[in-house]
Structure 1
Amino acid sequence: MGSSFFCEMLRAGMPLTQSSFVSALVASAEMASANCLWQVHVSSLKLGFLSDCCVGNALLKGYANFGGVVDLRKLSEGTRVLDDISVEILLRGYAQHGAFSDALKLFKSCIRDRITFSSYAFSSLLSLCASSGLVDCAVQFHASVVKVGLDVDVSVVNSLIMMYSRSCNLEDAEQLFNWCNSRDIVTWNSLISGLAYNSRGDAGIALVQRMLLSGMQMNESSFWSFLSCCASITNLENARRAHVQVLKLRGLVDQGTDNIILTMYCKSKGLKYAENVFESMEGQDNVSFNMMMSLYRSCGYFTESVELFLLAHEEGHWLNEAVLSGVICSCSVLNLLDLGEQAHGSITKAGFGNFPFVANSILEMYSQDGRIDEMEQIFYDIAKPDIFSWNTLFMCYASFGLINKVCEIWQKMEDLGVNPNEFSYSALLAVCSSAATLFIGRQVHASILKMGLLFDVALMNSLITMYSNCHTMKEALAVFKEISLPDNISWNAMVSGYAQNGLAEESVKFYIIMNRSGAKANYSTYASVCMACATLSEFRLGSQFHVQAITSGCESDVPLSNSLVAMYGKCGRIDDSFKIFQGTESKDVITWNSLICAYAHNGLASKAIDVFEEMKLSGMEPNGVTFVGVLSACCNAGLVSEAWYYFNSMHENYGITPLEEHYSCMVDILCRAGKLEEAKDLIDSMPFDQCSLVWRILLNACKVNGNLILGKVAAKRIMQLEPRDSASYILLSDTYGSVGDRENKARVRMLMKDMGVKKTVGFSWISS
């Protein structure tokens, strides 16, 4: 309206005054009309009003709001005299348009010309710098503020505190606060909000208490800043203090405080307090349900998290993608697949299925339950699977021994240019647990070298384990030597690897080196090294390791107890074996087997069978190793009928298919009893390819019993299976000798020579 009257006055030729121009410019600013502003500017220039200070300032303000930096520069250069108002308008205009270099230049020139500034101008300028993230520029203004003596002005100090705290320079903000002698409510609020902005909730609460002790009363702004601090508290004790304070000051603002208190207890892991707040809330909303479910899950209360999900779902509350993803994880932990599928349906319905971390949670749930088809479907529905998605597939396939699938996924990753990480390689190595998969393990090792991941000790430990499982300890040792700083797991993996590969002496030696290096042994190490001592029948060394295990607090470990039972049994200390057995609280099948085999090894057949019967009464199911121990006991005692009973009961009563070692025991029992024909019939009835061991047992019995006919049959079969084995030739030769047939004895010796078979030189390893 004002600009229209101004235009009518121009057309009518009416005289215009300073007031007319200022009013027209104000009206143009209110209308946000750049065109009207330009018309008034032209008229003021024609009629000579541009030099008027009031008109010039109004124009500056108009261009500051609707013009550009170039317009401001031209106008400021055309203005003869700049007063403090002109400078303030220009400074704010430059700052609004991001021309901070122009603002700083003007600022310095005004200081040089001794033009005074209001504290409001400085405060506005500093606030704009802070909001634009121009910390360096704000620091320069701060220096200028000190020069002109405005650093004592509380409004300027407040702006500086806000600027420094918003730019994450809390130390400078706190120094200014402590230096300020005339703090007002804004000073306190500025630092409290700054601490909240930087997630320093605990420090913010302390400052609020200090403020109240000083006698300063909180206003609404203080309370909101205080609540923001509450939302980032991590200390439970501070959370409790803040809760009391919120209840006292709740009258200032009574909206959303329940959820803020709940947030406070959730972040400080105050589960009981959070439950009390949640239950006392008049109306739990979506936010409170989401927070409580997340808290339950983060504290390991997966059942409670799922129960709350069911309640929220029943009441129709909206749950965010993070919480639904957490519900899926909880269902995975609790093995509640049906409920997990229900949560999956809710996720799909809510449209969260495409969120990568949600999809990964669903993927992991199906993989852990072995639902491979559903897992693959989810994976291929993900637009851009991340490395976690690929690794989930790796680990699932590895856990089920699907080597071909693992290799297929690895190839797909290479084709798509996806680089595996250390977890991918660990999953790949997990499937390489036998000599048949060694070539894959070596390829993985080569990729690890190529990717430069030799620094990852955990990955190198996985390589050691892989080579140990594939029975290539030389390569395992080479990997160990490549580790610059092997950790406890590296040493333990080597000791265990040697032991499980039957290299007992090397296992003991490596343990001694490990001990001297200062590395710490664990349950597995002691179990492995004690088993190595059992293999070596090394009682003194084994008992020393036992003492070390007790000193380290590892004696209660069941695998270690099993190794000790076996070790003492192999060393003839059967009473010590029994003591360890009795002291083992949670006996597993290996514990029982170790004692049965210990008694069998020491010729105490009746005690071995008694332990077996006791094992059955305890409810423990025997396995194949159990029957090896029982049959060995029967063999040592010559209990043929009992041996047949236990051998037949394996399949009939326990569904255990007899293996090579069970047949070997039975053949040995029959041969010791002189039932060679029955032993031969049992060998012929074996449902798998016969090994040389059973024939060697029979051949040795033929030598003892002078049965030349069966001896020839057994020797022939051994020579077919192992033509380079000297034992069969020696036994057959000795069999001929036992019946006085020197001619055939010499013929066998000559055949052995012609075949290039040499007798293995015997040796003895005696501990000192």
Structure 2
Amino acid sequence: MNACTVWSSKTRGISFFHSLLSSYNGSQNAKWPLAIFRQLLNANENPDDLTFALLIKAFASSFSSDAYSSAVTELQVSQVQTQLVRRGINQFVYVNTALLDFYMKLGLTTNARQLFEDMPCRDVVSWNALICGYSRNDYGNVALGLFVQMLREGFRPDHATIVGLAPACGRFELILQGRSLHGFGIKAGLGFDGQLKNALSSMYAKCENLEASELLFEEMSERNLVSWNSMIGAYGQNGFLEKATICFKEMLNGGLRPSPVTMMSLLSANAAPESIHCYIIKCGMTNHASVVTSLVCLYTRQGLTHMAELLYKHLPTNNLISLTAIMSSYAEKGDMKSVVEYFIQTQQLDLKLDAVALLSVLHGIINPAHFAVGRAFHAYGLKNGLTTDGLVTNGLISLYSKFDEIEAVSCLFLEMSYKPLITWNSVISGCVHAGKSSEALDFFCQMKKSGQKPDAITISSLLCGCSQLGYLRTGQTLHNYVIRNNVEMEDFTGTALIDMYTKCGRLDYAEKVFDSIIDPCLATWNSIISGYTSYGVEHKAFSGYNELQNQGLQPDKITFLGVLSACTHGGLLCEGTEYFRIMMEEYGLMPDLQHYACMVGLLGRAGLFHEAVEFINNMKIQPDSAVWISLLSACSIHQEIKLGECLANKLFFMDQRNGGFYVLMSNLYAIVGRWDDVARVRDMMRDSGGDGCSGVSCIEVTSIEDLNNNLGTNGVYLNTDTMHY
């Protein structure tokens, strides 16, 4: 008998409809419970509390399935609630609690809270549904507040309360509340069974307290599959792949068969995707969408995008998470063509990108040729309301900053109603990146007036701006703020200070800052080495290179650029050739154009022009104008007119607006007394618009008083000569 003939019968009683509603539990189609309920009303049957309880349960089971569609909407559930109130069924606490729980599963926290407030009476189960719902929807602080309110109103929390509330404390900043909850459970004598211990173990793992998770796990007399999954997940979340694998093997030795959750927990540990993939096939889980999606994400995280694509084509269902993972992987590689292709697929499947997906695409746009793609995704974000998310706005600010679109940055910033510190930092660093350091300082003053307190990132960005402008006094004021407010001096803050002092002409101050840092990182070493190079103190640059290795650090390309520059400035050909060899052969670092330019400069200054030209011809990457200018500069030193003219002709066709080679040629002609050629070159330079004859001086015009007031230093400047740490 089909559903249509059943519903057409008028002889069925209320019990028949109850049976029908029960049979459609887990039907994976939310339309059926609604249709049955409407048929019940058409049959003039009077629904009771059991009817509504079964209806809500059928709804909830449909929602929890993967095939849940947009059929269940806020409007439809509200209609059920209206019928419930109209018939007086809202007097039944258990029915209201079931509806409240369903609202929470739909993410309608406001509706759920209003329903709770309107309930004529409540019990512990109602409180649990509300607290667990807020916890499930990532409103941990609200859930904790409700727990306190529950206690004040005289309700005694039970086992389910702790289990529901524990996930809300699974954040590092809420570890104290989590421990208090654990202690409350012990004091209340709730009986710590496996379920409760699993919940607490998972909570401690998310708070990076693996020791507590392990203690709870060891205390379990009987460990079920959930217990093992929790522990494997705990190791995985904290990056302990080996421990997660050992735990998995112990579970198998105990005779338990892994579930899809087990495999997803193991995948979260960044295990070797090929091995896990084989095991998933062996266990017959290749049709489980969540497992395959997790595997796709692991492949993309490890850069194996091609494997992720192949796997995605065999997914049992198309989903946004897999597409987002593949798009993000291509965006990270700068392959915008593939990103756009997968974006088109999301549109064809009627899937909408979320804020995380959009942000990953925006971060991948670094090539000016892809700027139009970034603007297109900006338009997509506007159309779909994603730009209201603060993280997306920050991503857009970073995007426009990369391409010096400061006006667009300002517009985005002004449109934000709430401006957190991360947004201020994005705008300030964006201005500095675009060479607009004066604007960055103006934004900083506005930030302080709005009540925001700068952090290490803010200070580092401003120090970079001072480096660009040569603002020594402003940089000293910022240094003063760092010392007075105990801002962390390690890593990027100390590095930015060293860079600022070296570029503002105070190497002695830079050395004092460096000596104050207990454990300098590689970037800090690179900064002081570059400083020594700029001041022509080659022996100190080489000493720094040796010392960083003694401390167990491995030099990178920036380190070698510093020492090669030192060799170029000092004319140390043998040393430079050796460092270049070490970089490639011992450390496997491929030289960039700047490294090649240093070597060309070294060979040219030694008068080895034939070797320099041969070196350029053997380069593994196409030489740019900087490489040729290095050789032209050497020609000026050695008065090599013929080669210099050839190089000047080549540079003219490569970059005729670059005033550097005009100046070098003018100097070369002046050295040999060819003044007519000097005049001709200068005329050419003016005609091209690259007047390299003009000099620029920079003076510090920023209002130091305003900056001091904003930083709260009360006009006290840093006396670096007598500073102590």
Corresponding residue for residue 265 of structure 2: 326
Mapped contact 1:205–1:242 kept (Cα < 8 A): no
Q: Specify which of 383, 390, 413 is matched with residue 323 of structure 2.
A: 390
Tell me how far 1:499 sits from its aligned partner: 2.8
Mapped contact 1:733–1:744 kept (Cα < 8 A): yes
Matches within 5 A, 1:40-51: none
SS of the residue aligned with 1:381?
coil
Q: 1:542 to 1:279 in 2, by over 3 A?
A: closer
Corresponding residue for residue 236 of structure 1: 182
Whole-angstrom distance in 2 between the partners of 1:341 and 1:309: 15
Task: Return the letter of the residue paired with 1:448.
Answer: G
1:449 and 2:449 matched: no
Whole-angstrom distance in 2 between the partners of 1:341 and 1:297: 17
Mapped contact 1:205–1:230 kept (Cα < 8 A): no
Tell me how far 1:410 sits from its aligned partner: 0.8
Q: 1:306 to 1:208 in 2, by over 3 A?
A: farther
Task: Return the letter of the residue paired with 2:401.
Answer: S
Corresponding residue for residue 592 of structure 1: 525
Tell me how far 1:725 sits from its aligned partner: 4.7
1:315 and 2:248 matched: no
Q: Specify which of 559, 575, 581 is matched with residue 642 of structure 1.
A: 575
Q: State the TM-score, normalized to the length of structure 2.
A: 0.68
Mapped contact 1:328–1:344 kept (Cα < 8 A): no
Q: Specify which of 253, 256, 276 is matched with residue 340 of structure 1.
A: 276
Tell me how far 1:326 sits from its aligned partner: 2.9
Mapped contact 1:126–1:138 kept (Cα < 8 A): no
Tell me how far 1:385 sits from its aligned partner: 2.3
Corresponding residue for residue 18 of structure 1: none
Matches within 5 A, 1:409-558: 409-558=342-491
Whole-angstrom distance in 2 between the partners of 1:711 and 1:740: 15
Tell me how far 1:643 sits from its aligned partner: 3.5
Question: After the TM superposition, which of the residue ranges 707-716 and 750-759 deviates more from structure 2?
Answer: 750-759
Q: 1:382 to 1:131 in 2, by over 3 A?
A: closer
Whole-angstrom distance in 2 between the partners of 1:714 and 1:736: 14
Mapped contact 2:564–2:580 kept (Cα < 8 A): yes
Task: Return the letter of the residue paired with 2:412.
Answer: V
Mapped contact 1:192–1:207 kept (Cα < 8 A): no
Percent sequence identity over aligned pairs: 25
Mapped contact 2:267–2:294 kept (Cα < 8 A): yes
Task: Return the letter of the residue paired with 1:535.
Answer: Q
SS of the residue aligned with 2:698?
coil
Cα deviation digits, residues 141-197 of structure 1 (max 9, x gap): 98xxxxxxxxxxxxxxxxx77787778787898879xxxxxxxxxxxxxx5677677
Whole-angstrom distance in 2 between the partners of 1:650 and 1:64: 86
1:363 and 2:296 matched: yes
Q: 1:599 to 1:314 in 2, by over 3 A?
A: same
SS of the residue aligned with 2:386?
coil
Tell me how far 1:198 sits from its aligned partner: 6.9
Task: Return the letter of the residue paired with 2:343.
Answer: W
Tell me how far 1:306 sits from its aligned partner: 5.1
Tell me how far 1:680 sits from its aligned partner: 6.2
Question: After the TM superposition, which of the residue ranges 263-272 and 383-392 deviates more from structure 2?
Answer: 263-272
Task: Return the letter of the residue paired with 1:456.
Answer: D
Cα deviation digits, residues 513-565 of structure 1 (max 9, x gap): 43444334333332232223223332211122223334454333412222222
Whole-angstrom distance in 2 between the partners of 1:289 and 1:614: 47
Matches within 5 A, 1:3-402: 136=85, 139=88, 235-243=181-189, 258-259=193-194, 262=197, 283-286=222-225, 289=228, 307-329=246-268, 331-332=269-270, 335-337=271-273, 340-341=276-277, 344-345=280-281, 348-349=283-284, 353-402=286-335
Tell me how far 1:459 sits from its aligned partner: 0.7
Tell me how far 1:686 sits from its aligned partner: 5.3
- Unmatched 5+ stretches in structure 1: 1-62, 69-96, 105-124, 143-159, 177-190, 212-224, 247-256
Mapped contact 1:394–1:406 kept (Cα < 8 A): yes
Tell me how far 1:598 sits from its aligned partner: 0.9
1:559 and 2:485 matched: no
Task: Return the letter of the residue paired with 1:485.
Answer: Y
Mapped contact 2:381–2:387 kept (Cα < 8 A): yes
Whole-angstrom distance in 2 between the partners of 1:439 and 1:634: 42
Cα deviation digits, residues 15-69 of structure 1 (max 9, x gap): xxxxxxxxxxxxxxxxxxxxxxxxxxxxxxxxxxxxxxxxxxxxxxxx999999x
Whole-angstrom distance in 2 between the partners of 1:161 and 1:751: 90
Whole-angstrom distance in 2 between the partners of 1:460 and 1:648: 45
Mapped contact 1:692–1:717 kept (Cα < 8 A): no
SS of the residue aligned with 1:454?
helix
Task: Return the letter of the residue paired with 2:389.
Answer: D
Structure index of larger Rg: 1
Whole-angstrom distance in 2 between the partners of 1:207 and 1:759: 77
Corresponding residue for residue 722 of structure 1: 655
Whole-angstrom distance in 1 between the partners of 2:612 and 2:389: 56
Whole-angstrom distance in 1 between the partners of 2:685 and 2:201: 81
Task: Return the letter of the residue paired with 1:576.
Answer: Y
Corresponding residue for residue 514 of structure 2: 581
- Across the aligned residues of Structure 1 and Structure 2, the Cα RMSD in angstroms comes to 4.8
Whole-angstrom distance in 1 between the partners of 2:43 and 2:121: 26
Q: 1:417 to 1:704 in 2, by over 3 A?
A: same
Mapped contact 2:490–2:519 kept (Cα < 8 A): no
Q: 1:576 to 1:135 in 2, by over 3 A?
A: same
Whole-angstrom distance in 2 between the partners of 1:341 and 1:654: 34
Q: 1:174 to 1:229 in 2, by over 3 A?
A: farther
Whole-angstrom distance in 2 between the partners of 1:277 and 1:697: 66
Q: 1:516 to 1:557 in 2, by over 3 A?
A: farther
Tell me how far 1:507 sits from its aligned partner: 3.7
Tell me how far 1:432 sits from its aligned partner: 0.8
Whole-angstrom distance in 2 between the partners of 1:551 and 1:164: 57
Tell me how far 1:577 sits from its aligned partner: 2.0
Mapped contact 2:533–2:565 kept (Cα < 8 A): yes
Task: Return the letter of the residue paired with 1:568.
Answer: Y
Whole-angstrom distance in 1 between the partners of 2:326 and 2:460: 33
- State how many pairs are aligned: 598
Whole-angstrom distance in 2 between the partners of 1:695 and 1:161: 83
Cα deviation digits, residues 584-610 of structure 1 (max 9, x gap): 344333222211111121221222222
Mapped contact 1:702–1:710 kept (Cα < 8 A): yes
Task: Return the letter of the residue paired with 2:292.
Answer: A
Q: State the TM-score, normalized to the length of structure 1.
A: 0.64
Cα deviation digits, residues 400-442 of structure 1 (max 9, x gap): 4443322211121222322222222112212211213222212
Question: After the TM superposition, which of the residue ranges 440-449 and 359-368 deviates more from structure 2?
Answer: 359-368
Mapped contact 1:130–1:163 kept (Cα < 8 A): yes
Tell me how far 1:345 sits from its aligned partner: 4.1
Whole-angstrom distance in 1 between the partners of 2:675 and 2:397: 54
Q: 1:264 to 1:564 in 2, by over 3 A?
A: closer
Mapped contact 2:320–2:346 kept (Cα < 8 A): no
Q: 1:708 to 1:449 in 2, by over 3 A?
A: same
Task: Return the letter of the residue paired with 1:240.
Answer: I
Cα deviation digits, residues 633-653 of structure 1 (max 9, x gap): 234434344344434544454
